[in-house]
């Protein structure tokens, strides 16, 4: 079991570095000495719902098809699922950066430091669409609430100057073997991997340092002892390391830490324009300019081409999105734009997206359920209409129909029209939404991105 293993591993003694001879104190040893104390092992536990086919043993295709259907599936059961990962302490108060996929949906989170100390933690914020999350350690009972824990920590450094072939050190807890160290080189930078679930993997660092399940969320360190990335993904046929590991770059990690600390979520920088790809010309074109905005103040007009941002070419939406993932709110950027064959550089400030542009309309008309339905123990709101121009109507499977009872949005109960309106007002473009619906005697959920 994951947590019994964690307890046993807490008995291990942290390695001693002080007594090493100079010949043994290599750059890798020095790097590990700097970062290992701030590296943690993370155990997360959540409840998952499994679809159960009571006729599985009959090997009957008719029953198998019937009970695998999400609308008619036999019955569901809740099971506790445990996951294991790594993370780094990023301040002395107990903030921990890790991969979002390690802790997504977790009800319980346990962290163990390299010196064996163990704490409970909770999610402070998620960095979607990046596969990053920020945790905060819950002080143990009896600890003064206004007193810092004074824990070892590191700050993600810079990865935009990485050299191919330089040393790369991965630290984490592969297969629950905490405080494990592997070394390799930086194999490539700027890799783009296919999106998975809600996550975008842009500008990834590729390394051949061995990364295995359990390393997720741990630091990738250079020979100077600086955290240059967060180990996240492997490409493997076997499920283990095959020399193709990928880390989220430190610039993106720093933005997640700053944004979640300040606002509780990742905030993309906004300059006031809407861009579209001109694939034939291999460039981005300004489709619309909002006013007031920095783009409008700079005199940028629809039809202008964005050539580069901070000196880096912007040939595609992926190029631009990758840059946005490291630009903080309030940060100045240099945008090179082309208008009527003439180029100029303008200075823009990354702003928070105006609330008016973030509002979401799911396209549902709902009303309160009848008092008789409530007396029978029912809850939710009745779906009176699914507007054809709404977000939900455009989904392929049209999962909601008039007459359905909408029970919850993002696991938040919706028991009145006012509650539904309040939940929808908090939804933002780019976020993932999970909706729970009751249709007759069937309860089901579905997710989609806004």
Contact 405, 378 (CB under 8 A): yes
DSSP string over 345-392: EEEEE-BPPPHHHH-----EEEEEPPHHHHHTT--SEEEEEE-TTSTG
145 vs 358: CA distance, rounded Å: 36
What torsion, rounded to 10 degrees, do the Cα atoms 56, 62, 68, 69 define? -160
Q: Which is the catalytic residue, given 114, 180, 216, 326?
A: 216
Contact 275, 281 (CB under 8 A): no
Contact 351, 319 (CB under 8 A): no
Alpha helices in 53-118 (DSSP H): 61-68, 100-103
Half-sphere exposure of 17 (CA within 13 A, CB side): 14
Residue 165's Cα: distance from chain center in Å? 28
Whether residue 91 lies in the annotated active site:
no
Supply φ then ψ for residue 433, to 5 degrees: -120, 135
First to last CA, the chain: 38
Helix (H, G, I), strand (E, B) or coil at 277: strand
309 vs 228: CA distance, rounded Å: 22
- For residue 434, CA distances in Å to 1, 415, 442, 445, 449 come to 30, 16, 17, 7, 9
Whether residue 59 lies in the annotated active site:
no
Q: Which is the catalytic residue, given 91, 100, 131, 404?
A: 131
Q: Which is the catalytic residue, given 86, 100, 101, 208?
A: 101
| Range 24-30, long-range pairs (CB < 8 A, 24+ positions) | 27/167, 27/223, 27/224, 28/167, 28/169, 28/181, 28/183, 28/223, 30/223, 30/225
Residues 6+ apart with CB under 8 A from 100: 126, 127, 128, 130, 131, 132, 133, 199
Annotated catalytic residues are 101, 131, 216
């Amino acid at each position: 079991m994951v947590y019994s293993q964690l307890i046993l591993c807490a008995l291990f003694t942290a390695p001693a570095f002080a007594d090493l001879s100079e010949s043994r104190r290599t750059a890798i040893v020095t790097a590990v000495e700097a970062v290992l104390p701030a590296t943690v092992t993370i155990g997360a536990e959540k409840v998952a719902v499994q679809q159960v086919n009571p006729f599985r043993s009959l090997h009957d295709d008719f029953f198998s098809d019937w009970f695998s259907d999400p609308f008619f599936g036999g019955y569901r059961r809740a099971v506790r699922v445990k996951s294991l990962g790594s993370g780094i302490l990023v301040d002395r108060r107990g903030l921990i950066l890790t991969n979002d996929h390690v802790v997504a949906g977790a009800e319980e989170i346990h962290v163990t430091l390299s010196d064996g100390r163990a704490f409970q933690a909770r999610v402070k914020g998620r960095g979607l669409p990046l596969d990053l999350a920020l945790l905060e350690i819950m002080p143990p009972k009896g600890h003064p609430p206004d007193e810092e824990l004074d824990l070892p920590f590191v700050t993600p450094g810079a990865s935009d100057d990485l050299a191919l072939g330089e040393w790369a050190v991965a630290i984490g807890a592969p297969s629950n073997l905490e405080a494990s160290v592997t070394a390799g080189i930086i194999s490539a930078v700027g890799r783009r991997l296919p999106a998975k679930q809600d996550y975008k993997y842009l500008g990834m660092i590729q390394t051949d340092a061995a990364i295995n399940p359990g390393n997720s969320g741990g630091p990738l360190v250079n020979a100077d002892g600086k955290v240059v990335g967060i180990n996240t993904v492997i490409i493997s046929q076997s499920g283990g390391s095959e020399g193709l590991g990928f880390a989220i770059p430190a610039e993106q990690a720093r933005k997640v830490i700053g944004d979640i600390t300040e606002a509780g979520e990742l905030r993309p920088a906004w300059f006031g324009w809407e861009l579209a790809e001109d694939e034939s010309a291999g460039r981005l074109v300004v489709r619309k300019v909002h006013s007031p905005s920095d783009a409008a103040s700079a005199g940028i007009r629809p039809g202008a081409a964005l050539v580069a941002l901070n000196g880096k070419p912007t040939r595609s939406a992926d190029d631009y999105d990758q840059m946005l993932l490291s630009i903080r709110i309030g940060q100045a950027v240099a945008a090179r734009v082309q208008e009527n064959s003439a180029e100029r550089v303008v200075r823009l400030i990354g702003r928070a997206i105006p609330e008016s542009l973030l509002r979401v309309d799911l396209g549902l008309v709902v009303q309160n359920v009848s008092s008789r339905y409530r007396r029978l123990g029912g809850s939710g709101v009745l779906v009176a209409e699914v507007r054809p121009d709404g977000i939900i109507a455009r989904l392929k499977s049209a999962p909601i129909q008039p007459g359905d009872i909408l029970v919850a949005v993002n696991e938040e109960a919706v028991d009145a029209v006012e509650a539904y309106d309040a939940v929808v007002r908090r939804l933002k473009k780019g976020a993932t939404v999970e909706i729970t619906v009751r249709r007759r005697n069937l309860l089901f959920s579905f997710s989609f991105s806004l």
